A and B are shown apart, each in its own frame.
Chain A
Amino acid sequence: MAGFDYDVLIIGGGPGGYVAGIRAGQLGLKAAVIERDKVGGVCLNVGCIPSKALIHQAELFRSIPNLRDMGLAVDTAGFDYTHVFDKSRKASDTLVKGVQFLLKKNKVETIVGEGTISGKNEVSLKDGKKITGKNLVIATGSRPRVIPGFEFDEKQVLSSTGAIMLPKLPRKAIILGAGAIGVEFSHVFNAFGVEVHLVEMLDRILPIEDAEAVQVLARAFQKRGVQMYTGTKAVSMQKGAGGVSVVLEDKSGTRKTVEADQILVVVGRTPNTDGIGLEKVGIPTERGFIPVGDFNQTRVPGIYAIGDVVNTPLLAHVAFKEAELAVEHMAGKSPHPRLDLLSIPSATYCEPQVASFGLPEWKATEQKVAFAKASFPYRGAGKSVAVEQSEGFVKVLYDPKTKEIIGVHIVGADATELIHEMLLGRTAELLPEDIAEMIHAHPTLSEAVCEAMRAVEGWAIHI
């Protein structure tokens, strides 16, 4: 190891960093993760995991009417959001400890501190300590994007972090940005009785998803009283003692003022690439992101960048994969290079769920990709009717010539789990007929997946 403290020195212990550490340990490399806070990053601490705990409880709460249907008297007077919040912290703490254990098990050291790159093979901590590594992995993640005029104070103007850490719900909230995070918070807040005003600059909520799938969700939101403002931007904000007052402007220029206790600004994330010493080693950034090769190598040999600092979808599972690619590459293995951008799943957890990969119809049209489509409604799968989850559909976009799967969009119950059979179909290069002819257990929601593939072949049975 010629004088280096570690084979692999990882800056940041989020989903990218800790997986890089574990994978390095598995491959027999001496690795360390430098983390300024808790391992697990945004995902485990203030992102995916605690938010799923909130969503799960929101859905339990939303099922109270179903209990009443059974004749039960349910008294909601004792409802206290603090308990909901506490549970979400518990989930987070449990998983953080889990990651700490996994790192230890794989002999990965955790160094507490804020690391900045000070040389090709060297990272300095705030206290002046220098650590060297044969390879460096930049996994410093991202932070909520700030928009001028709407700077976070985490009291009245919340980032996603502030919203996750709220011990008490507002009565009325404005949510700026209807991407996955905005939509999930709308879902949670609405379920617990908060008056939600969801504002999106583009023409629909979840603008990168397939428009037909989003329509199902938008209808459900509307029914539940989520107020949506699409094609609308927030032009200014005033803070007062009792709350915030926000001026919205739609495409025609019509303005409207909405008042709320709090505003949640979730309009994307900014990569943490400033102040980490990139300039010391000559690594450039493009719009804040670090350009990398097929195995996440930066321009400097031996330095890799993974996760949210790279311009691939800012998702934990993308960071996981990039961590594998980078570490296997430095270990001299030859991983299958490059992420297939059409094979990255996305999952939005609300009711109904929205899950997808590949091209949505609007994008295929925009990119002039030839496609054909088929879809199958949930209600055609008997199970969905039995469990009162019959809203939704499975939609497949495929190459009309070869029937290669180029996009799948599922909206409905458990969509985020159902998507994976389709995704395996794409990555293993199965054809629709392979899935259409496979026996699916009855009764399951997966039957809708099978039927959608039969629909591609022109012989869906239950419709």
Chain B
Amino acid sequence: MPEKILMMALSPTMETGTLVRWRKKEGEAVASGDVLCEVETDKATMDYESTSDGTLLKIVVPAGGQAKVGDTIAIMGKPGEDFSALLAEAKPAAVKPAPAAGSSAATVAAGAVATPTAPAALAPSTAGRIKSSPLARRIAMQKGIDLRSLRGSGPEGRIVKRDLDSAPIAGLAAAPAPAGPIYTPGPGDEVVPLSSMRRIIARRLSQSMFSAPHYYLTVAITMDELLATRARLNAGREKKASMNAFLMAIAGRALLHHPKVNSSWNGDSIIRHTAADIGLAVAQPDGLITPVVRDCGRKGILGIDAELADLVERARAGKLQPAEYDGATFTISSLGSSGIDEFTAVINPPGSAILAVGAIRKEPVVGDGDTIAIRQRMRVTLSCDHRVIDGAVGAAFLRELADMLENPMLALA
């Protein structure tokens, strides 16, 4: 019997995947574990492995096409089997505009979703297959929630209102339209379709900014001591430990002293994390990703540096696994190398604080006895979620972090 191959959620937050490339051709034999295709999720490009043996009978979503989680992307079975019934079933939901022959995956993707309004929400033709109450469907429509992302708690698994209370909001395109104008591109304007990553950045960061009341604490830190320490550690070392590794190790220790900062807002409770899992914002060609080094508070600088180097390299190549970028309890974002003196960052959930790190510059500093000295100074700004971290709590953490950076010995104390 031929079988439908469905788009799977390849990351916990994935709602839609873009078929980057088919690695098997129609008519080709497939063994369980073979890579069928590559799928661009919201964060990375992942291999889609087959879970069964058989022959790839039909590719339903061609390279460059998009498929929602649960959509049919291909049909497998024995050679020569009739799969027309399955194909007919799959068609209304899954088939995306076919790509122009011969064009590369990237340009095709752009062409395929040229209408920026395509919401990831409810196609009425597919809604009938999901058990949900009329009220739940209306609320989902109003809030832009994809019912397929939910599990129903009502009778026979029906999705009911309470299941929507904590549901994630889908792509902003599906949210109620803002009162402002919808722009019409002028002549010569380029309409850039949203990549999965752009969509998820838009969603997550808007959600963070709109739901977490942010406030900001800035402090200037004298870095001479830390720079000297780093120079001594790196002397004669072929691979130099990065400044980020130092920051993460020291921030990790400061977080263990301030568990209220190393916490997550959980709707009706707050979760205090026992380990400081620190994410580092890393730029990518179309967006950014935050690989996470786990338990920084208990790891050495060189250990963190080695892990970070590996994660960053794979992050830039778009090859991170979800477990490697999810669940940061604290995040560091550095624009120092871009010459930015100071800035504020948007909190990266589930963390409740993010540290925005500026450039290190020589500055005149008024020291004890009103003498002026030239010092290496760095400005950092901590964004805090006021639901979790009150001002005095954030300030105490930032003060200790600054003290540790000014005098790295304190981090060992």
Chain A interface (Cβ within 8 Å of chain B)? 336, 401-404, 428-431, 433-434
A406 to chain B, nearest CB (A): 11
A-B contact list, 26 entries, CB within 8 Å = A336-B153, A336-B154, A336-B155, A401-B142, A402-B135, A402-B138, A402-B139, A402-B142, A403-B135, A403-B138, A404-B135, A404-B161, A428-B133, A429-B133, A429-B134, A429-B135, A429-B136, A429-B154, A429-B160, A429-B161, A430-B133, A430-B135, A431-B134, A431-B135, A431-B138, A433-B134
Chain B interface (Cβ within 8 Å of chain A)? 133-136, 138-139, 142, 153-155, 160-161
Instruction: Kindly list 10 other residue pairs between chains A and B, CB separation below 8 angstroms, not including A402-B135, A428-B133.
Output: A336-B155, A402-B139, A403-B138, A429-B154, A429-B160, A430-B133, A430-B135, A431-B135, A431-B138, A434-B134
- Cβ-closest chain A residue relative to B161: A429
Q: How far does the alpha carbon of A41 sit from the alpha carbon of B155 in the complex, in Å?
A: 32
Q: Which 10 A-B pairs have the closest CB atoms?
A: A429-B133, A429-B135, A431-B134, A402-B138, A404-B135, A430-B134, A402-B139, A429-B160, A434-B134, A429-B161
A365 to chain B, nearest CB (A): 23
Question: Which B residues touch A428, using CB under 8 A?
Answer: 133
Q: Which residue among A402, A404, A429, A430 has the maximum number of chain B CB atoms within 10 Å of its CB?
A: A429
Q: How far does the alpha carbon of A404 sit from the alpha carbon of B134 in the complex, in Å?
A: 10
Q: How far does the alpha carbon of A281 sit from the alpha carbon of B153 in the complex, in Å?
A: 35
Q: Which residue among B134, B139, B155 has the maximum number of chain A CB atoms within 10 Å of its CB?
A: B134
Q: How far does the alpha carbon of A380 sit from the alpha carbon of B133 in the complex, in Å?
A: 30
Q: How far does the alpha carbon of A336 sit from the alpha carbon of B158 in the complex, in Å?
A: 12
Q: How far does the alpha carbon of A360 sit from the alpha carbon of B155 in the complex, in Å?
A: 28
Grouping DSSP codes into helix (H, G, I), strand (E, B) and loop, the B interface class, with mixed when no group exceeds half, is: helix
Q: How far does the alpha carbon of A433 sit from the alpha carbon of B135 in the complex, in Å?
A: 11
Q: How far does the alpha carbon of A336 sit from the alpha carbon of B155 in the complex, in Å?
A: 9
Q: How far does the alpha carbon of A402 sit from the alpha carbon of B142 in the complex, in Å?
A: 8
Q: Which residue among B135, B138, B153 has the maximum number of chain A CB atoms within 10 Å of its CB?
A: B135
Q: How far does the alpha carbon of A404 sit from the alpha carbon of B133 in the complex, in Å?
A: 11
Q: How far does the alpha carbon of A336 sit from the alpha carbon of B157 in the complex, in Å?
A: 12
Q: How far does the alpha carbon of A429 sit from the alpha carbon of B153 in the complex, in Å?
A: 13
- Cβ-closest chain B residue relative to A403: B138
B157 to chain A, nearest CB (A): 12
Question: Which A residues touch B138, using CB under 8 A?
Answer: 402-403, 431
- Cβ-closest chain A residue relative to B141: A402
- Cβ-closest chain B residue relative to A426: B135
B304 to chain A, nearest CB (A): 45
Question: Which A residues touch B136, using CB under 8 A?
Answer: 429
A400 to chain B, nearest CB (A): 12
Q: How far does the alpha carbon of A428 sit from the alpha carbon of B132 in the complex, in Å?
A: 10
A340 to chain B, nearest CB (A): 10
Question: Which A residues touch B134, using CB under 8 A?
Answer: 429-431, 433-434
Question: Which B residues touch A434, using CB under 8 A?
Answer: 134
Question: Which B residues touch A404, using CB under 8 A?
Answer: 135, 161
- Cβ-closest chain B residue relative to A430: B134
A166 to chain B, nearest CB (A): 45
Q: How far does the alpha carbon of A431 sit from the alpha carbon of B142 in the complex, in Å?
A: 14
B212 to chain A, nearest CB (A): 24
A343 to chain B, nearest CB (A): 12
Q: How far does the alpha carbon of A431 sit from the alpha carbon of B136 in the complex, in Å?
A: 10
A450 to chain B, nearest CB (A): 16
A374 to chain B, nearest CB (A): 17
Question: Which B residues touch A403, using CB under 8 A?
Answer: 135, 138
B303 to chain A, nearest CB (A): 45
Q: How far does the alpha carbon of A250 sit from the alpha carbon of B134 in the complex, in Å?
A: 49
Q: How far does the alpha carbon of A203 sit from the alpha carbon of B272 in the complex, in Å?
A: 51
A335 to chain B, nearest CB (A): 11
Question: Which B residues touch A401, using CB under 8 A?
Answer: 142
Q: How far does the alpha carbon of A67 sit from the alpha carbon of B265 in the complex, in Å?
A: 70
B265 to chain A, nearest CB (A): 24
B128 to chain A, nearest CB (A): 15
Q: How far does the alpha carbon of A430 sit from the alpha carbon of B138 in the complex, in Å?
A: 10
Question: Which B residues touch A431, using CB under 8 A?
Answer: 134-135, 138
Q: How far does the alpha carbon of A402 sit from the alpha carbon of B176 in the complex, in Å?
A: 13
Q: How far does the alpha carbon of A404 sit from the alpha carbon of B136 in the complex, in Å?
A: 10
B366 to chain A, nearest CB (A): 54
Q: How far does the alpha carbon of A402 sit from the alpha carbon of B135 in the complex, in Å?
A: 7
Question: Which B residues touch A429, using CB under 8 A?
Answer: 133-136, 154, 160-161
Question: Which B residues touch A433, using CB under 8 A?
Answer: 134
Q: How far does the alpha carbon of A308 sit from the alpha carbon of B135 in the complex, in Å?
A: 32
- Cβ-closest chain B residue relative to A428: B133
- Cβ-closest chain B residue relative to A401: B142
Q: How far does the alpha carbon of A433 sit from the alpha carbon of B137 in the complex, in Å?
A: 13
B122 to chain A, nearest CB (A): 15
A416 to chain B, nearest CB (A): 25
Q: How far does the alpha carbon of A433 sit from the alpha carbon of B138 in the complex, in Å?
A: 12
Q: How far does the alpha carbon of A430 sit from the alpha carbon of B155 in the complex, in Å?
A: 14
Q: How far does the alpha carbon of A72 sit from the alpha carbon of B174 in the complex, in Å?
A: 70
B69 to chain A, nearest CB (A): 25
- Cβ-closest chain A residue relative to B132: A429
A162 to chain B, nearest CB (A): 44
Question: Which A residues touch B155, using CB under 8 A?
Answer: 336
B229 to chain A, nearest CB (A): 56
B46 to chain A, nearest CB (A): 35
B97 to chain A, nearest CB (A): 34
